[in-house]
Amino acid sequence: MSYRLIIDVDNFKAYNDQHGHLSGDKALSIIAGVISDCCRETDVPCRYGGEEFVVILPDSNSKEASVVADRIIQDIRSAPYPITGGSRYDTLTVSVGIASYPNQGTEPMEIIEQADRALYRAKSLGKNRAVTARKKRAAANNGRQRKLRGA
């Protein structure tokens, strides 16, 4: 089984607006390093775009994926982010969506989309947390049950 994590920096636009693009760029660089440090040797971390990152966890199980996600969340929250032009530091947090092959899909983009949905559930639950995508079959069954109730 293989897992994907999608990581999004919480409130990054506000951080960037408040502290400037140089501080924002430095923060993203620090976050990339933290994510890389939290990964296992076989994991593949990459920047997905903007303030989003993806980690591919080959040959993993749900517990291993959750451990990596939790480590990333904790280490990013505790890292100091220097603010350009001074000796002050700020903090940042991330939200993480977790999805797996084949539970949430068999195509790479399908798995990413499911991880992205889980990410937005994490954000809607208060941010600074990880949420695992629902099993594809369970989500499909729930949709069918809703349709049957409405018939």
pLDDT confidence of residue 143:
54
Q: What CATH number has the domain spanning 2-150?
A: 3.30.70.270
What does the DSSP assignment read for 73-139?
HHHHHHS-EEPTTSS-EE---EEEEEEEETTT-SSHHHHHHHHHHHHHHHHHTTSSSEEEPPPHHHH
Q: What pLDDT shows up at residue 96?
A: 99
**Which residues are part of the catalytic machinery?**
51
User: Domain coordinates of the chain in residue numbers?
Assistant: 2-150
pTM of the shown model = 0.86
pLDDT, one tens digit per residue, over 69-123 is 999 999 999 999 988 776 788 999 999 999 999 999 999 999 999 999 999 999 9
